[in-house]
């Protein structure tokens, strides 16, 4: 009977847990449900990103008393980066009132949420990642791959290499190898690299590294035989330091390896030790703690013992700063929507309107204390990426240093490809294309 009584207790506990009353709706709050991941293989990214995001929300509450008096609230549910846990967390957290936007930081979870958040009319933010064609706001009204979608990233990297070679015309006859992670994420850019290779006339070889990528001897021997001018590292997790170390072993110069936006963190470079010195990677947000907004977070939160990161050395790291930038974009979307709908708690659809008018020029970015941290963003009702600029950082053995100007991807080239894909999706799902007038109204 002991087991049975244990189960009785568990059942009772379950009853309590499921019926716990959620905090009553208050007029002046805006809630962020966070499907975070602080354990599991991707915990380094999760703790940094969600730490930065929470730090910024906390800063707005502590320093400004919220957005125009509307207090920001949040709660976390652990997903471990697993889709079904993310869905469970979504169902659990969505019952909270006043949801502003979802920020899962996971392609898989975001995919599973597209239908659901569209029905709920709440925005879904996939900063720097996500479905490329969700850039098209005509088809995906509630999905925002802010700053950088995978195609723009590809174009940004090719433009950077062209800059180093002295112009796009000099790419002709050059040889580029793309070493990609053997996963849906890794394969997403295969067609766009092929297209750019054709357009600019460089020779291209794309090599797959099977997940998780802790053995790359044969790939790098192939690279050594191919003698490329550049290797683009499109990695994830353990694959990145292993790539850098194996490159050093096979004698490929590390300063000709360019990392993509998920191969650009301290966690990728530090484990590779000496082999990472000189490694360059793309980013939408510079790392470092010298930006005013980061300094304020340190002063207001960390000095008062209220910061979210356990390890203070990670303040200003790539993932932490990405979380901060994500916080800025979410908060500013709310602020912009408040200008139109009133300084009160907004509905998800009103926040969506805010994201669709999220236009922060470099002057506004500077006023927010983020000059140099990120460049600018210009989201419109049909461009949900918002033309983010990219920059490149080089690892000096201890930290990242910015080595390029802000570079613009070739959006005009990419847009027709994106529209082709999103229109196919719309046809498949029977979605009617939205117009500018549809986007102007928001349900409350």
Partner 1 sequence: MSVLTADLPVSRSLPGWAGTAALLAVAYVAVPIFGTSYLFEAILLPFLALSLAGLGLNILTGYAGQVSLGSAAFMAVGAFAAFNFNLRVESLPLIASIALAGFAAAAIGLVFGLPSLRLKGFYLAVSTLAAQFFVQWALTKFSWFSNDSASGVIDAPPLSIAGVAFEGPVGRYLFSLTVVTVLTFLAYRLVISQTGRNFIAVRDNETAARIIGVPVLKTKLLAFAISSFIIGVAGVLWAFAYLRTVEPAGFNLDRSFQILFIVIIGGLASIRGAFFGAALIVVFPLVLSRLGSFLLGDIFDSGVLDMSQRIVLGTLIILFLILEPDGLVALWDRVRKRIGTGLRRS
The residues of the shown chain that bind partner 1, judged by CB under 8 A, are 2-4, 10, 13-14, 16-18, 20, 36, 38-39, 43, 47, 75-78, 80, 83-84, 87-88, 91-92, 95, 107-108, 111-112, 114-116, 131-133, 150, 182-185, 187-188, 191, 210-211, 421, 425, 428-429
Q: How far is the CB of 156 from partner 1 (least distance, A)?
A: 18
Based on CB atoms, which residue is closest to partner 1, 16 or 27? Answer: 16
200's CB contacts (< 8 A; 6+ apart) are: 158, 162, 168, 171, 172
Task: Look at the block and give the residue holding tokens 């021997």.
Answer: 221
Residue 285: exposed, middle, or buried by beta-carbon count in 10 A (0-12, 13-18, 19+)?
buried
Q: How far is the CB of 367 from partner 1 (least distance, A)?
A: 32
d(CA 39, CA 49): 13
Based on CB atoms, which residue is closest to partner 1, 239 or 336? Answer: 239
Q: How far is the CB of 287 from partner 1 (least distance, A)?
A: 23
Based on CB atoms, which residue is closest to partner 1, 172 or 306? Answer: 306
Based on CB atoms, which residue is closest to partner 1, 183 or 260? Answer: 183
3-state secondary structure of 350: helix
d(CA 435, CA 427): 16
Based on CB atoms, which residue is closest to partner 1, 111 or 279? Answer: 111
The answer to whether 205 and 175 are in contact (CB under 8 A) is: yes
Based on CB atoms, which residue is closest to partner 1, 69 or 191? Answer: 191
Q: How far is the CB of 395 from partner 1 (least distance, A)?
A: 27
Query: Strands, DSSP E only, in 58-160?
Result: 71-78, 124-125, 143-144
Based on CB atoms, which residue is closest to partner 1, 93 or 333? Answer: 93
d(CA 259, CA 417): 24
3-state secondary structure of 89: helix
Tokens of 92: 């659990």
Q: How far is the CB of 40 from partner 1 (least distance, A)?
A: 9
Q: How far is the CB of 373 from partner 1 (least distance, A)?
A: 25
Q: What is the DSSP letter of 61?
A: H
CA-wise closest residue to 87 among 67, 113, 65, 69: 113
Residue 354: exposed, middle, or buried by beta-carbon count in 10 A (0-12, 13-18, 19+)?
buried
d(CA 68, CA 28): 10
Q: How far is the CB of 127 from partner 1 (least distance, A)?
A: 16
Q: How far is the CB of 306 from partner 1 (least distance, A)?
A: 13
Based on CB atoms, which residue is closest to partner 1, 18 or 227? Answer: 18
């Amino acid at each position: 009977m002991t087991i049975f009584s244990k189960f009785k207790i568990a059942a009772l506990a379950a009853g309590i847990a499921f019926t716990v009353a959620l905090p009553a709706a208050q007029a002046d709050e805006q809630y962020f449900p966070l499907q975070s991941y602080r354990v599991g293989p991707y915990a380094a990214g999760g703790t940094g990103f969600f730490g930065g995001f929470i730090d910024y929300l906390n800063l707005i509450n502590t320093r400004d008393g919220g957005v125009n008096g509307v207090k920001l609230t949040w709660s976390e549910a652990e997903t471990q980066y697993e889709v079904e846990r993310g869905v469970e967390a979504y169902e659990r957290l969505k019952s909270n009132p006043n949801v502003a936007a979802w920020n899962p930081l996971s392609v898989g979870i975001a995919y599973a949420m597209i239908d659901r958040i569209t029905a709920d009319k709440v925005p879904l933010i996939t900063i720097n990642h996500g479905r490329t064609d969700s850039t098209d706001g005509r088809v995906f009204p509630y999905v925002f791959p802010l700053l950088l979608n995978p195609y723009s990233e590809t174009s940004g990297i090719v433009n950077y290499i062209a800059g180093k070679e002295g112009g796009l015309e000099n790419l002709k006859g050059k040889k580029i190898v793309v070493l990609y992670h053997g996963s849906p994420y890794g394969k997403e850019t295969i067609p766009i690299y092929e297209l750019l290779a054709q357009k600019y006339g460089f020779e291209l070889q794309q090599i797959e590294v099977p997940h998780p990528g802790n053995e790359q001897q044969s790939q790098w021997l192939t690279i050594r035989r191919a003698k490329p001018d550049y290797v683009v590292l499109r990695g994830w997790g353990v694959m990145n330091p292993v790539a850098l170390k194996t490159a050093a072993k096979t004698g490929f110069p590390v300063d000709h390896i360019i990392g993509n936006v998920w191969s650009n963190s301290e966690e990728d470079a530090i484990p590779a030790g000496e082999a990472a010195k000189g490694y360059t990677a793309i980013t939408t947000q510079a790392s470092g703690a010298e930006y005013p907004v980061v300094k304020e977070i340190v002063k207001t939160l960390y000095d008062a013992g209220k910061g979210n990161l356990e390890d203070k050395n990670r303040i200003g790291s790539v993932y932490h700063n990405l979380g901060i930038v994500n916080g800025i974009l979410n908060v500013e979307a709310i602020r912009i929507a408040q200008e139109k709908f009133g300084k009160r708690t907004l509905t998800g659809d009103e926040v969506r309107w805010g994201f669709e008018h999220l236009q922060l020029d470099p002057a506004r970015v500077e006023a927010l204390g983020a000059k140099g941290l990120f460049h600018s963003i210009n989201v419109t009702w049909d461009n949900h990426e918002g033309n983010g600029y990219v920059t490149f950082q080089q690892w000096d053995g201890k930290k990242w240093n910015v080595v390029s100007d802000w570079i613009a991807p070739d959006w005009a080239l990419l847009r027709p490809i994106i529209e082709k894909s999103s229109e196919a999706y719309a046809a498949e799902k029977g979605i009617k294309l939205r117009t500018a007038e549809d986007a102007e109204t928001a349900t409350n």
